[in-house]
Amino acid sequence: MYSDGMKKRAAEAALKYVEENAVVGIGTGSTVKYFIDALSQIKHRIEGAVSSSEATTQRLKAHKIPVLDLNAAGPLPLYVDGADEANRYLQLIKGGGGALTREKIIAAASDQFLCIADQDKLVDVLGMFPLPVEVIPMARSHVGRELLKRGGQPALRENFITDNGNLILDVYNLKILEPAKLEVEFNNIAGVVTVGLFALRPADVLLLGTLDGVRVLKP
């Protein structure tokens, strides 16, 4: 698929942001897989990586890249992750792979958040991609009702448990005109672990893979 080539371009362009002897925070998803594959070529130059998911950990270990604990690693210079949607302010929807909580923690603990994606992920208004919300299992129905009140159409992600042992509600029918405001509002619903809006802590740089190369976007 042509989108795979664009993802690969963005992922490989991210290598130049990796500092010598750094610990790199690494997200989850199809574009990130290409980044891990590229990172393996310079693994001798980094100390290791902090992983956002079990799937990413497995891929890092397959490449013999050391996986470190975030608590031990401390603040990170760089976090690299993909997105399901991004707007021109570099606010994102993430969590299609279900790793949104750990991704949000690592993004918060990093000096620079570098987002890598193909050009199709750039949108004018967030919300066409259903917004993932991680919820404590006992709160599923309560959170669902609260999301309905706010105009969303929540659907339980079937046969899916997060790495944290929780559920995901995917919220359809949203046109997110004020992402930061909605992030706060949804996060404040009792039982929500986190919401897949990265607006309070958006990306610092967006590398968009295109048919012609890589576009660099900054807010």
Tell me which amino acid residue 66 is. Answer: P
CB half-sphere exposure, 212, CA atoms < 13 A: 2
Residue among 151, 86, 152 at smallest CA distance from 124: 86
Q: Whole-angstrom Cα distance, residue 186 to residue 195? A: 7
Q: Are 203 and 154 in contact (CB under 8 A)?
A: no
Residue among 82, 58, 88, 98 at smallest CA distance from 7: 82
Tell me which amino acid residue 167 is. Answer: L
The residue from 12, 103, 134, 183 that is catalytic is: 103
Extended beta strands in 45-152, E state: 48-51, 67-68, 76-81, 85-86, 92-93, 110-118, 131-135
Q: Whole-angstrom Cα distance, residue 141 to residue 15? A: 43
- Residue 149, phi then psi, degrees to nearest 5: -60, -30
Q: Whole-angstrom Cα distance, residue 53 to residue 50? A: 9
Indicate if 103 belongs to the active site: yes
**Catalytic sites, residue numbers:** 103
